[in-house]
Structure 1
Amino acid sequence: MQNQIDQSIGFILLTHTKPLQIYRLINTLNRMFNYPVIVCHHDFDKCELSVDALSKNVLLVRPHIKTEWAGFGLVEATIQSLQLMYKTINPPDWFVLLSGADYPIKSAKQILDELASNPYDAYIQYEQITYDIYKQDLQPNMLWLKNSYQRYCTKSFSFHYSKKYFSQLNLEIRLEHPFLTKLFLPFSKKLACFSGSQWFCANRKAAEYIINFHSQKNPVTLYYEKLKYTDESYFQTILANAPDLRLKNDRRRYIDWSTGGPHPKILLMEDLSNLLVSSAHFARKFDIDIDSNILDELDRITS
Structure 2
Amino acid sequence: MVNIVYLVIAYKNLEQMIRLVNRLNAPNVQFLIHIDKKTDEDYLTGAQQALRDYPNCYFIKRETVYWGAWGLTQVSLNAIHYIEAHDLKCDFLIYMSGQDYPLQSNDRIHAFFENHQGKQFLDHFTLPYEHWPGRGGLNRVELYHFQLGSKTLVYPPFAGRDSPPRLLKPIMPFFSFKPRKLPGGYRFYGGSAAIILARSGITYIDQFVKTDLGQRIVNFYTRTTNADEMFFQTVMMNSSLGNTVVNDELRFTDWSKKAAHPEILTKHDYQRLKDSGHLFARKFDVQVDAEILDLLDEGSD
Distance in structure 2 (CA, Å) of the matches to 1:251 and 1:236: 12
- Cα distance change on mapping 1:203 and 1:268 into 2, 3 Å: same
Distance in structure 1 (CA, Å) of the matches to 2:250 and 2:20: 18
- Cα distance change on mapping 1:73 and 1:143 into 2, 3 Å: closer
After TM superposition, the structure 1 = structure 2 runs for residues 182-201 of structure 1, keeping only pairs within 5 Å, are 184-186=180-182, 190-201=185-196
Distance in structure 2 (CA, Å) of the matches to 1:301 and 1:26: 18
1:271 aligns with one of 269, 272, 282: 269
- Cα distance change on mapping 1:146 and 1:253 into 2, 3 Å: farther
Q: Which amino acid aligns with 1:268?
A: T
1:152 aligns with one of 119, 124, 141: 141
Q: Which amino acid aligns with 1:115?
A: F
Deviates further, 268-277 or 118-127: 118-127
- Cα distance change on mapping 1:59 and 1:82 into 2, 3 Å: same
What is the Cα deviation at residue 144 of structure 1? Answer: 4.7
- Cα distance change on mapping 1:19 and 1:119 into 2, 3 Å: closer
Q: Which amino acid aligns with 2:59?
A: L
What is the Cα deviation at residue 114 of structure 1? Answer: 2.1
What's the secondary structure of 1:79's corresponding residue?
A: helix
User: Do 2:31 and 2:57's aligned partners in 1 also have CA atoms closer than 8 Å?
Assistant: yes
1:212 aligns with 2:207: yes
Q: Spell out, residue by residue over 1:193-233, the C-alpha distance to the aligned partner (whole angstroms, 9 max, x if none).
A: 10011002111110111111223353211100112111110
After TM superposition, the structure 1 = structure 2 runs for residues 22-101 of structure 1, keeping only pairs within 5 Å, are 22-30=17-25, 33-34=26-27, 36-47=29-40, 48-49=43-44, 50=46, 51-54=48-51, 55-62=54-61, 64-101=62-99
Distance in structure 2 (CA, Å) of the matches to 1:172 and 1:297: 56
Return 5+ residue gaps in structure 2 as ranges. 145-154, 159-166
What is the RMSD computed on CA atoms of the aligned residues? 2.6
What's the secondary structure of 1:222's corresponding residue?
A: helix
2:127 aligns with one of 117, 126, 129: 129
After TM superposition, the structure 1 = structure 2 runs for residues 282-293 of structure 1, keeping only pairs within 5 Å, are 282-293=280-291
Distance in structure 2 (CA, Å) of the matches to 1:77 and 1:238: 16
TM-score, normalised on structure 2?
Answer: 0.82
1:232 aligns with 2:225: no
| Aligned match of 1:3 | none
Distance in structure 1 (CA, Å) of the matches to 2:93 and 2:277: 18
What is the Cα deviation at residue 81 of structure 1? Answer: 1.6
Q: Which amino acid aligns with 2:112?
A: E
Distance in structure 1 (CA, Å) of the matches to 2:277 and 2:215: 36
What is the Cα deviation at residue 35 of structure 1? Answer: 6.5
Q: Spell out, residue by residue over 1:160-207, the C-alpha distance to the aligned partner (whole angstroms, 9 max, x if none).
A: xxxxxxxx857557999xxx53xx32256x521100110021111101
TM-score, normalised on structure 1?
Answer: 0.82
What is the Cα deviation at residue 26 of structure 1? Answer: 0.9
Identity, in percent, stands at 24
Distance in structure 2 (CA, Å) of the matches to 1:153 and 1:275: 37
User: Do 2:5 and 2:90's aligned partners in 1 also have CA atoms closer than 8 Å?
Assistant: yes
User: Do 1:120 and 1:247's aligned partners in 2 also have CA atoms closer than 8 Å?
Assistant: no
What's the secondary structure of 1:65's corresponding residue?
A: coil
User: Do 1:14 and 1:78's aligned partners in 2 also have CA atoms closer than 8 Å?
Assistant: no
Q: Number of matched residues? A: 273
- Cα distance change on mapping 1:127 and 1:89 into 2, 3 Å: closer
What's the secondary structure of 2:32's corresponding residue?
A: strand
